[in-house]
């Protein structure tokens, strides 16, 4: 099972991706998509060094909702920030200690941090224990760390499991 279908989630995503790409759901495209979804993970297996198991998919879905909502709200606040007086902006680097482990989880978290406005992840220490984040408004580093840890990192910790 694991030999023939090493990454079921990736396969599912690839199938969805294919159907969206061709923008139609016909039997032919479905079959072609299934073949691709089976073959591509098989032939790229060596590339996927670290694997994760999704323990609680619902938590991940909720995280997706939270991230989308935060993107919306925080976009507005950043828009207000950059259209106001520039002198009021105090950017700075914030060092965020990480609890998540593994390439997939860490890169997911780094991407989320970059997508939610106000913060961009700029550096990851070699031991993956610390993420350096550049914040547009770094007056209160503790608050930024708190948001990242509780809103984004906690669900990832709960939902993903290193295999």
Partner 1 sequence: MTEPLSSTLTSPLWSLGVEILVSLLIVIGAAFTCLGSVALLRLRDFYSRLHGPTKATTLGVGSLLIASSIFFSAQGPGLSLHEILVALFLFITAPVGAHLMAKAALHLRVRGQSGLPPDALLDGQGVAQPDPQAAPRPVPRPASRIDADPLRDAD
Instruction: Give me the least distance between CB of 113 and partner 1, in Å please.
Output: 8
Binding residue for partner 1, selected from 10, 40, 42, 124, defined by CB under 8 A: 124
Instruction: Give me the least distance between CB of 94 and partner 1, in Å please.
Output: 9
Binding residue for partner 1, selected from 55, 95, 99, 150, defined by CB under 8 A: 95
By CB under 8 A, tell whether 89 contacts partner 1: yes
In this chain, which stretch among 26-34, 42-50, 81-89, 154-162 interacts with partner 1, using CB under 8 A?
A: 81-89
Contact 163, 53 (CB under 8 A): yes
By CB under 8 A, tell whether 138 contacts partner 1: yes
By CB under 8 A, tell whether 120 contacts partner 1: yes
> For the CA atoms of the chain, what is the radius of gyration?
19
Which one, 3 or 47, has the nearer CB to partner 1? Answer: 47
Angle at 65 (CA atoms; ends 64, 69), nearest 5 degrees:
120
Residue from 65, 49, 69 nearest 57 by CA: 65
Phi/psi class of residue 118: alpha, beta or left (left: φ > 0; alpha: ψ in -120 to 50)?
Answer: left
Which one, 12 or 71, has the nearer CB to partner 1? Answer: 71
Output b/e per residue, 111-125; b: 16+ Cβ within 10 A: ebbeebbbbebeebe
């Amino acid at each position: 099972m694991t030999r023939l279908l090493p990454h079921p989630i990736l396969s599912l995503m690839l199938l969805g991706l294919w159907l969206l790409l061709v923008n139609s759901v016909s039997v032919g495209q479905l079959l072609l998509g299934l073949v691709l979804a089976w073959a591509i993970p098989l032939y790229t297996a060596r590339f996927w060094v670290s694997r994760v198991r999704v323990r609680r998919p619902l938590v991940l879905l909720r995280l997706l909702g939270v991230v989308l909502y935060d993107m919306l709200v925080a976009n507005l606040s950043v828009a207000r920030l950059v259209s106001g007086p520039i002198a009021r902006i105090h950017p700075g680097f914030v060092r965020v200690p990480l609890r998540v482990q593994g390439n997939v989880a860490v890169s997911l978290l780094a991407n989320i941090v970059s997508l939610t406005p106000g913060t961009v992840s700029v550096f990851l220490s070699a031991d993956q224990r610390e993420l350096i984040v550049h914040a547009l408004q770094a007056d209160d580093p503790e608050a930024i760390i708190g948001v990242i840890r509780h809103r984004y990192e906690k669900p990832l910790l709960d939902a993903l499991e290193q295999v």
